[in-house]
Amino acid sequence: MLQLKPLDQKVPIFHQINSEISPVVLVNLFQVSGEEIPELLKAWAADANWMKQQPGYISTQLHQGIAGSTAFMNYAAWESVAHFRAAFNHPEFKQALAHYPSSAVASPHLFTRLTVPNLCVGP
């Protein structure tokens, strides 16, 4: 079963999903033991394929830390928090969390783009 650990203790994902922001990016950091990497990748791929069928899903990309790292980062774009919330709270998705390896810890967090003059274009 996938363990969830907040990235921000003051504002965990369970508080963030009550927001009404559009669009949003989910960043989900995973830690897993080296021998369970194949199991993590299989469970993540199944989840990603399910999520991409959900309304409001835009895209996703999984990254792995280099030099033998067992850290992974998923970056997923969603049209809105409402769309993400519906998928995240769906019973089918919640059941799928049982397919992750026992050593897997995830830290999901939602972000919105910011405007920084001459550097970044926000919403």
Give the CATH number for residue 34: 3.30.70.100
Is 118 part of any domain? no
Is 106 part of any domain? yes
pLDDT tier at 121, thresholds 50, 70, 90? confident
Is 123 part of any domain? no
CA dihedral 91, 97, 99, 103 (to 10 degrees): -170
Q: What is the pLDDT of residues 7-51, one digit of tens each?
A: 999 999 999 999 999 999 999 999 999 999 999 999 999 999 999
* Residue 10 lies in domain: 3-111
Is 122 part of any domain? no
DSSP string, 30-88: EE--GGGHHHHHHHHHHHHHHHTTSTTEEEEEEEE-STT--EEEEEEEES-HHHHHHHH
Q: What is the pLDDT of residues 55-104, one digit of tens each?
A: 999 999 999 999 999 999 999 999 999 999 999 999 999 999 999 999 99
- Cα–Cα nearest to 55, from 14, 95, 84, 75: 84
Q: Is the pLDDT of residue 118 over 80?
A: yes
Whole-structure pTM value: 0.92
Is 47 part of any domain? yes
Q: Per the structure, how many domains does the chain have?
A: 1
